[in-house]
Amino acid sequence: MTNLFKTMEINVGPQHPSTHGVLRLILELDGEIIKSCKPVVGYLHRGIEKMAENRSYLQYLPIVDRIDYLGGFFNSYAYCDCIEHLAEIDVPDKAKYIRVLCMELNRIASHLLWLGTFMLDLGASSPLFYCFRDRERILHIFEALTGQRMMYNYFTFGGVRFDIPSDIIDKISVFIEDMPECINDYENIITDNPIFVSRCKSKGILTKKNALQYSITGPNLRASGVNLDFRKSNPYLVYDRLNFDVSSDISGDAFSRYKVRIFELHSSLKIVEQCISFIKNSSDEFLNKSVKPVMLNIDNAEYTSSVESPRGLMSCTVMAGGKNPYRVKWRTGSYYAVQVLPELLINAELADLMAIFGSLDVILPEVDK
Amino acid sequence: MNYLLSIFIDFFANFGIPKEVVYIIFPIIPFCIVAAALILVVLVLVLVERKILALFTQRKGPNRVGFCGILQTVADAVKLLCKENIEPNVTDRILFSLAPIIAFVPVMVCWGIIPFSSEFDFISISVSSLLFAVIAVIPVIGVILAGYSSNNKYSLIGSVRSAVQVISYELPIMFVILSVSILASSLNIKDIILSQTSMYQVCGWYIFPCFLGFVILFVSSLAELNRCPFDLPEAESELVAGYNTEYSGMRFALFFLGEYAMLFVSSAFITALFFGGFLSPFGFYISEKIFNNNVLAQIGIYFEQAFWFFIKSFLIVFLIMWVRAVLPRLKSSDLLKFSWRILLPLSILNFIYICLFKYIVMIGGLK
Amino acid sequence: MINTDLLKEYFPDVLVYDYYIFVEKNIVDVISFLKTKNYVDFDVLSQIIAADCTDFVQLTYRLYSTENNEFLNVVTKVKDEAASVTHLYKSAHFDECEIHDLFGINFVGNEKLERLYMPEDWDGHPLLKSYDQTDERLEWNNDQSL
C-alpha cells in the first residue's frame, strides 16, 4: 500500500533539452504533480570572479562578455562603468549614446532568443525560426560593428573602441523600421493562441511579496506588479535624456512575463531610434584619447555599478587594489530567478515546468559565473 | 480481389503449380507490395514534412543530399540502420526488443485494410472500419511496453501519457466511425467509399453532412498519432524524447517508421470516410475518357483511383503538418479535459444528428 | 537617505558614512531594523558581497529600497562564522551558499547551507587569497593516453 503513494524522484538536467544550458533540477513527482524541486547549479562554473584577481583591469575586460553570453554588452558596460568611476574617466556623449544603442539592440536580440526558445519549450517550433531570423539581423549588425557575433569586447574604459560607421547606422535604421511589423506577427501567432494562453495564464504566479523577498529584478519583477526599472529609477548613461516607457503587469504569471518582454521589445526599438538620431547629428570626438587603460593604477576603492540587463539587475562590484582588481563580484538576474523556481513549481504539473521555467528567462552561464 | 486472384492462379497454372499452393502463397505477394509501398511512403512523408516545416519557417529544408535534398531521408534511413543498437543494462530485454515490433506491425495490418482502389483491398471483411479502429490502437501497447521496459523515468511518463491519451480519444473516434457507417449503411470501408458516389460529384462525400464528425476524427487522430499539438508522449522539451529515449538504431527506426506510416494510414482512413476515398472528384475517371472503355481503361482506372486516394491523403497529411507548424503543445490535463468535456459530447451529438439526418433522408428518399 | 539618528539610537556603535553602514556585531538586528523600522523600508537584499581581507572576510549586504530607489551597503567583518539573514530575505540563501562555498564562512541559522558551485568534497575555498592555485585538479589534463 505504501508503494502506491510513493513519489518519484526525477532528474531534469544537467543535459536536458529545455534547461537552457546545464541546470539540474531534482524534482519529486506525484504522478505529474511536482511536489518539491531543488535546483543544483555549478555545472558551468568558470571562476570568472577569481580570474579577475590575476589580471590587470584591461586583461579582464574580454572575459566579462562570457558571463551572460546573450547580453555581452551589458556585462562589459557594468564592468567599464565601475572602472570609469574608480579611475575617474569621463565618457563623451557620443560614446554614451553608442553604448545605449548597442545595449538596447542586444536587449532585443536577447528577448528574441528568449521568445523563440520559450515557444520551443511549449512545443511550437515555428516561432523559434522567426525569432532567430530577426536576431540574426542584429547579430550581423554587431558583427559588422565589433567583429564578433556574441563576445563583443567593444566597450572600453572611457568609451567604445571605434566609432560607429554610417553604413551600420543605415542598417540599424532599416532594421528598426521592419521590426515592429515582425513583432506584431509574433504576437498574432502567439498571443491569441488559445493553447498558449491556457498554458501560461495563471501558471507560476510570482507574488509581489515573493518577488521582492527573492530579489527578483527585471521583467520578472515588473510582471509581478513592481514598476522597477533601473533605467528609470537609477538612470545611468543617457537614459534620463531618453523618452521610453516601462511596462508592468500585476498578475505575475507566465503570461504577464511574456507580455512585459514583448512590450520591452517595442520600447527598446524606440530607444534605438532616439540614439540613432543623436548619433547622426553629433560630431563629437567619440573616445577620450588621454586614457591609457593599460597603465591604470587605482588605489584601494570600491564601486558597484547597476545595469538593467535583459534578465534583471546586473551589478558589478570592483574592489580596486593597485594594478589589478582585488575582488570582483557579479550580481546577475538569473541567479536569483533560479532560486525562486522551487517556490513557483510546488504543486504545478510537470508540463508547467517548461512554461514557468521558460518564462523566467534563465541563462545558466550567468548563474554559475 | 477475386479478379486479381484468378489472374494469379492462371499465371501459376502455366508452371504446373497446383491451385491450393497458390491460395497459400497468394497473400505473401500483396504483403510484400504493401510493405514496400509503406516504406516508400514513409520516406517520402518524412521528406515532405521537413520541406513543409521549412516552408512554414522560411527555410530551405534538406537541400544537400541528391537533387534538392530528395535523398535526405534515404541517407537518414541508412544512417539509422547502420547505427549501433544500444541496449541499456537494466532493461527488460524481451519486452525491450518486442516493443518496437508491436508498435510497427499493426500499422502494416491497418495499411492492408485500406482499399486503395476498388479492386485492391487485401483484407476485405464486412466490419473493416471497426477492425481498423481496433488495430490502430495496438501500437500503443508497444509504446507502453517501451516505456516500461526501458527502465527510464522519462520513458515511463511518456508511455503512461500515451496510454491515457489513446483511451480518452478512442471513444470519439468510435462514435464518428459509427455515424459514418450509419450514413453508408455499412461498416466495410470499401462500401463506405462506394456509397459516397453521387451524381453531383463531390457533393456525395460525407464531409458535407458530417463536417463536425470530420473535425472530431481529425483532432482525435492527431491525438492518436501523438502529433502536435498532442505530442505529449514524446514532448522533447519535457521528457527528452518520451517513450523512445533509450532506443537507438534499428529499433528506434521501427518506432519512427511506425509513427509516420500510421500518420499516412490515418490520413487515408479519414480520406476514405469523408473524402470519397478513391473516387474521382470529377465524377468520372480520366482514363475512362482516354482509353475509351477498353481493357486498358480498367487498369487505368485502378491506378487513377489509387492516385486520387494518395492525393487526398497527402492533403490531409499536409493539414496535419500545418497544425504542427503553428500550434504549441497542450498540457496533459488540458488534453484530457478537451477530450472528455468537449470532443466526447460533441461526437455523441454528431451521432444523434447523423441518425436523424439519415432517417429524414430515408423517409424523403432523397438519395 | 536613511535616518541616521534613529539608527544611532538603537545601535550606538554603528558607523554611518554616505551609503555605507559599518557594523561590528548584531548585523542581523541592524538589517532587520533597516528592513522594517526605518523611514525607508529596504525591502530587497540585492546581494551579499564577500571579500577576503586576509585576516578576516568582509561581508557587504547590499540593500535596495523600491520606494526610494536607493542602495545601502551594510558592511561587517566576519571570521569563519556569520549569522544568516535567510529569515529576513529568502534571496540570501544562494548568496550564503556561495560564500560558504567560496570563502568557507559558516552561516549559522541557514539549515540548508551547502556548497553551491564546487563539488561536495572539494578541498579549500577558491576565492580566499590563500587558496592554492597549483592544485593539480585545476590543471588541464593533457595526458593523451587516457
State the ipTM, two decimals: 0.84
Q: Whole-angstrom distance between the N-terminal and C-terminal Cα of chain A?
A: 46
Q: What are the b/e assignments for A299-317, b being 16+ CB within 10 Å?
A: eeebbbbbbbbbbbbbbbb
Average pLDDT, chain B: 82
Residue (of A6, A91, A106, A134) closest to A290 by Cα position:
A91
Surface of C (122-141) touching A: CB under 8 A: 126-127, 129
Residue B285: CB partners within 8 Å, gap ≥ 6?
Answer: B297, B300, B301, B304, B305
Return d(Cα B223, Cα C78) in angstroms, integer. Answer: 61
Chain A interface, best mutation among B237, B322, B337, by max A CB count within 10 A: B237
Tens digits of residue pLDDT in A20-62: 778 888 888 887 788 888 888 888 888 888 888 888 888 888 8
Q: What are the b/e assignments for C84-123, b being 16+ CB within 10 Å?
A: bbbebbbbbbbbbbbbbbbbbbebeebeebebbbbeeeee
Residue position matching grid coordinates 593597485 = A322
Specify the pairing of strand C81-83 against strand C106-108: parallel
Most confident of A339-348, B246-255, C27-36: A339-348
Residue C87: CB partners within 8 Å, gap ≥ 6?
Answer: C109
Tens digits of residue pLDDT in B144-170: 888 888 888 888 888 888 888 888 888
B261 contacts B107 by C-beta, under 8 angstroms: yes
Identify the sign of the CA torsion C6, C7, C13, C15: negative
Radius of gyration from C-alpha coordinates of chain C: 18
Joined grid coordinates for residue B343? 470532443
The DSSP code for A164 is P
Q: Which domains does chain A have, with CATH numbers?
A: 2-368 (1.10.645.10)
Return d(Cα B238, Cα B215) in angstroms, integer. Answer: 28
How far is CA A187 from each of CA A107, A175, A193, A303, rounded to the nearest angstrom? Answer: 18, 18, 9, 41
Q: Tell me, what's the pLDDT at B293?
A: 66
Return d(Cα C79, Cα C108) in angstroms, integer. Answer: 12
Q: Within a 10 A sphere around the Cβ of A112, how many other Cβ atoms?
A: 28
Q: Which helix (H) or strand (E) holds B149?
A: helix B139-149
Of residues C101 and B32, which shows the higher confidence score? C101
Compute the count of residue pairs across chains A and C with CB atoms less than 8 Å apart. Answer: 68
| Geometric angle at alpha carbon B356, from B354 and B359, rounded to 5° | 110
The answer to whether the Cβ–Cβ distance between B328 and A189 falls below 8 Å is no
Q: Which chain A residues contact residue C44 at CB under 8 A?
A: 212, 215
Tens digits of residue pLDDT in B286-344: 777 777 767 777 777 778 888 888 888 888 988 888 888 888 888 878 888 888 888 88
Q: Which chain A residue's Cα is nearest to B333?
A: A349
Q: Which of A17, A193, A198 lies at the smallest CB-CB distance from B236?
A: A17
Q: Which of A126, A351, A353 lies at the smallest CB-CB distance from B332?
A: A351
Q: Tell me, what's the pLDDT at A284?
A: 60
B220 contacts B176 by C-beta, under 8 angstroms: yes
Return d(Cα B232, Cα B226) in angstroms, integer. Answer: 7
Residue B320: CB partners within 8 Å, gap ≥ 6?
Answer: B221, B222, B225, B227, B263, B267
Q: Which of C47, C52, C116 lies at the smallest CB-CB distance from A331?
A: C47
**Interface membership of C36 toward A (CB under 8 Å):** no
Return d(Cα C36, Cα A148) in angstroms, integer. Answer: 48
Of residues A16 and A143, which shows the higher confidence score? A143
Average pLDDT, chain A: 84
Q: Is B276 left (phi over 0), alpha (psi -120 to 50) or beta?
A: left
CATH of C4-120, one of 3.30.2290.10, 3.40.190.10, 3.30.460.80, 3.30.360.10: 3.30.460.80
Chains B and C contact (Cβ–Cβ under 8 Å for 3 or more pairs): no
Task: Please give the distance of CA A53 from its chain centroid, rounded to a whole number.
Answer: 25
SS3 content of chain A, % helix, strand, coil (to 5): 50, 15, 35
Q: Is B303 exposed, middle or buried (0-12, 13-18, 19+ CB in 10 A)?
A: middle
Given a cut of 70, whether residue A292 has pLDDT beyond it is no
Specify the pairing of strand C70-78 against strand C20-23: parallel
Which whole number is the average pLDDT over C62-91?
85
Return d(Cα A133, Cα A178) in angstroms, integer. Answer: 12
Tens digits of residue pLDDT in A180-204: 888 888 888 888 888 888 888 888 8
Surface of A (252-281) touching B: CB under 8 A: none
**Interface membership of B235 toward A (CB under 8 Å):** yes
B335 contacts B223 by C-beta, under 8 angstroms: yes
**Interface membership of C68 toward A (CB under 8 Å):** no
Task: Please give the distance of CA C75 from its chain centroid, rounded to a whole number.
Answer: 9
A18 contacts A121 by C-beta, under 8 angstroms: yes
**Interface membership of B240 toward A (CB under 8 Å):** yes
How far is CA A164 from each of CA A150, A167, A195, A237, rounded to the nearest angstrom? Answer: 18, 9, 44, 18
Percent of chain C with pLDDT over 90: 0
Give the model's confidence band at C145: pLDDT under 50 very low, under 70 low, under 90 confident, else very high: low
Cis bond leading into B100, ω under 30°?
Answer: no
Return d(Cα A265, Cα A256) in angstroms, integer. Answer: 14
Long-range contacts formed by C32-38: CB under 8 A, 24+ apart: C32/C88, C33/C7, C34/C2, C34/C7, C34/C63, C34/C72, C34/C74, C35/C63, C35/C88, C35/C89, C37/C6, C38/C2, C38/C3, C38/C6, C38/C7
Chains C and A contact (Cβ–Cβ under 8 Å for 3 or more pairs): yes
Q: Tell me, what's the pLDDT at A334?
A: 87
In degrees and rounded to multiples of 5, residue A33 shows phi and psi of -90, 135
Q: Which chain C residue's Cα is nearest to A228?
A: C66
Which whole number is the average pLDDT over C45-64?
87
Q: Tell me, what's the pLDDT at C141?
A: 60
Å between B271 CA and nearest CA of chain A: 27
How far is CA A135 from each of CA A113, A116, B23, C21, rounded to the nearest angstrom? Answer: 7, 10, 65, 45
Return d(Cα C104, Cα C81) in angstroms, integer. Answer: 9
